[in-house]
């Protein structure tokens, strides 16, 4: 979707000044998609870290029981 938005921004820019509002709207949509992707990536990394920590804690607990 981000690639589509990037291309749409480029197309709107080529249309010239008469489509300035459409161009600005596409820039906003593109930026929104990029921000959502960044937020999702941060959430993924946080969940991944939590899972890794939980796995390490479980490994330590199992080592102590042996």
* 12 closest CA partner among 25, 23, 24: 23
Domain that holds residue 20: 2-65
Average pLDDT, stretch 31-60? Answer: 96
Question: Given a cut of 70, is residue 66 above it in pLDDT?
Answer: no
What is the residue whose two structure tokens read 């941060």?
42
Q: What is the mean pLDDT of the chain?
A: 91
Average pLDDT over residues 15-25: 89
Enumerate residues 6+ apart whose C-beta is below 8 A from 1: 33
Structure tokens at 20: 């300035």
Overall number of domains in the chain: 1
């Amino acid at each position: 979707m981000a690639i589509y938005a990037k291309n749409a921004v480029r197309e709107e820019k080529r249309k010239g000044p008469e489509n300035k509002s459409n161009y600005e709207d596409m820039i906003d949509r593109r930026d929104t998609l990029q921000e959502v992707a960044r937020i999702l990536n941060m959430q993924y990394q946080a969940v991944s870290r939590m899972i890794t920590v939980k796995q390490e804690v479980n490994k330590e607990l199992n080592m102590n029981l042996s």
